Amino acid sequence: MDVDLVAAVRRFNRTVTQRVGALDDEYMARGRPLAQARLLWEIGPGGAEVAALRSRLGLDSGYLSRLLRTLEGDGLVTVGPADRAGGDGRVRVAALTGAGRAEWSELDRRSDEFARSILAPLPGRRRERLVAAMAEVERLLVASLVVIGPCPPGDPRARACVRAYARDVGRRFDGGFDPAVSSPVHDEELVPPAGVFLLASLNGEPVGCGAVKLHPGAPAEIKRVWVSDSVRGLGVGRRMLDELERYAAERGWAAVRLDTNRALTEAIAMYRSAGYQEVEPFNTEPYAHHWFEKHLAP
């Protein structure tokens, strides 16, 4: 990693933490630090499951519990089982009290004022540049939060991604998509040493997937590459492709191949830009119109 890039990120972090008041004992002059204010905001008027808060904010369970206890002690939050609202008793839910809702509204108002105070010193065009730069930084930071790693193909998150893949291509393929007609991909083909299923997740939620089958004596085969609309355009698909290629290369495969439908124009462009070359059909997949292959570096 370039040391100048690392230094630039650290410098940016110092500027932001100072400017947004993260170093202050009292965020927005409300008598509590930023972490408590952010948690209160995330709970919101509709409440939230504790597990979802932990994933969304990336907090350690113990630290989150301490924050919640403090907010409970201040009379702003209640934490209890979801079955109080007719839900699953094993699920804990945080909800704002009347005082908590009033504090949330005040925090919302002061946050608007604070945002205006950042923009106010800048002339019009510089305001637009700052907001545009913030939007770009946000997109890239979200992209950096996406984690890609192996996942059992029978895991509920993996199943959810495969279903989302089928719905997505079904909307785009001429005549739809029927998994029963497509060439089957069996779970046992996607577990080591036969292959792998990779899951992309953001704040604990699945946002993409991909798989590779390691065919003995033949190129590895990439299957079921899918990315959620929520992270599309952030480079997650290309990262997934790179990880699948790396997985095959590290296990000794010299080439990978894949098939795709003509309707998936963005995917075709990605494959070509990643160095894939179109080849003759190597399978009888009924939904395929293009077949690609790429030689891997050792």
pLDDT at 208: 97
Q: Mean pLDDT of all residues in the chain?
A: 93
Which residue's entry shows tokens 């106010």? 120
pLDDT digits (tens, 9 = 90+) for 3-55: 898 999 999 999 988 888 888 878 877 888 899 999 999 999 999 999 999 98
Say what the pLDDT of residue 83 is.
66
Reported as a pLDDT band with limits 50, 70 and 90, residue 128 is: very high
Per-residue pLDDT tens digits for 53-91: 998 888 899 999 999 999 999 999 999 987 655 556 678
pLDDT digits (tens, 9 = 90+) for 202-223: 988 999 999 999 999 999 999 9
Cα-based torsion angle of the residue sequence 90, 66, 145, 298 in order, rounded to the nearest 10 degrees: -90
| pLDDT tier, 2 (very low <50, low <70, confident <90, very high otherwise) | confident
Q: At what angle do helices 61-73 and 34-43 cross, to 10 degrees?
A: 80
| Cβ density class 200-239: b for 16+ within 10 Å, e for less | bbbeeebbbbbbbbbeeeebbbbbbbbbbeebeebbbbeb
Query: For residue range 104-121, what is the model confidence (pLDDT) as tens digits?
Result: 999 999 999 999 999 999
* pTM for the structure as a whole: 0.83
